[in-house]
Chains A and B, each alone.
Chain A
Amino acid sequence: IAGITQAPTSQILAAGRRMTLRCTQDMRHNAMYWYRQDLGLGLRLIHYSNTAGTTGKGEVPDGYSVSRANTDDFPLTLASAVPSQTSVYFCASATGTSGTDTQYFGPGTRLTVL
């Protein structure tokens, strides 16, 4: 693989269910990010990780958790999904050598919570 992959591509989920969105990059980037994109709104940062073993909260972290056990993977978990979490979720990565590094985005996961 090359770049960033996300899985699944799309998912319909019943409210209250647990769901993990997967994100994997093979560019050896240190920094990784999770965003959600909703119609009429800009991308909003959910969680980020500056390097393996560390994570931080973004603008809209409630209801989501992340882990960064290694450089390549950055899964996003919804512990108990709610309809307001219906969105398109993008994972992104950056080299992390500078705070102003360009972020590269995965193809996204379209999640519908009913």
Chain B
Amino acid sequence: GQNIDQPTEMTATEGAIVQINCTYQTSGFNGLFWYQQHAGEAPTFLSYNVLDGLEEKGRFSSFLSRSKGYSYLLLKELQMKDSASYLCASMDSNYQLIWGAGTKLIIKP
């Protein structure tokens, strides 16, 4: 079956660094997406990885290991506005996105 696992909730302190992990198991693989979703709002695109390694984009970085079926999203210099849910999604062989349930990130001052 197809499955995406990520922690339900994480808490971090403003100014700190947090790593949100995601493991995936899908029928085929065409890349790994991360989206941010603030409460009551639409998901917005953060990153896409299809090759192994780290992709850095400002305060946010995303890592992929295809052999391990593993990805993480790294958020640096946390700000209160980063309080949101972070959704991991793997694209399967049919180019359909399989979504995790999301990780709710709580930032404390």
A69 within 8 A of B: no
Counting contact residues on chain B (CB < 8 A from A), the size range is 20 to 34
Q: How many residues of chain A get a CB closer than 8 Å to chain B's CBs?
A: 19
B78 to chain A, nearest CB (A): 24
Q: Is A41 a contact partner of B44 (Cβ separation < 8 A)?
A: no
Contacts of A106 in B (CB 8 A): 42
User: A100-B48, A100-B91, A102-B48 given as contacts; is B101 within 8 A of A41 (CB)?
Assistant: yes
Instruction: Count contacts between A and B, CB distance < 8 Å.
Output: 46
The dominant DSSP class at the A interface is loop
CA distance A105 to B31 in the complex (A): 19
Q: Is A99 a contact partner of B95 (Cβ separation < 8 A)?
A: yes
B13 to chain A, nearest CB (A): 26
Residues of A within 8 A of B (CB): 40-45, 48, 58-59, 90, 99-100, 102-108
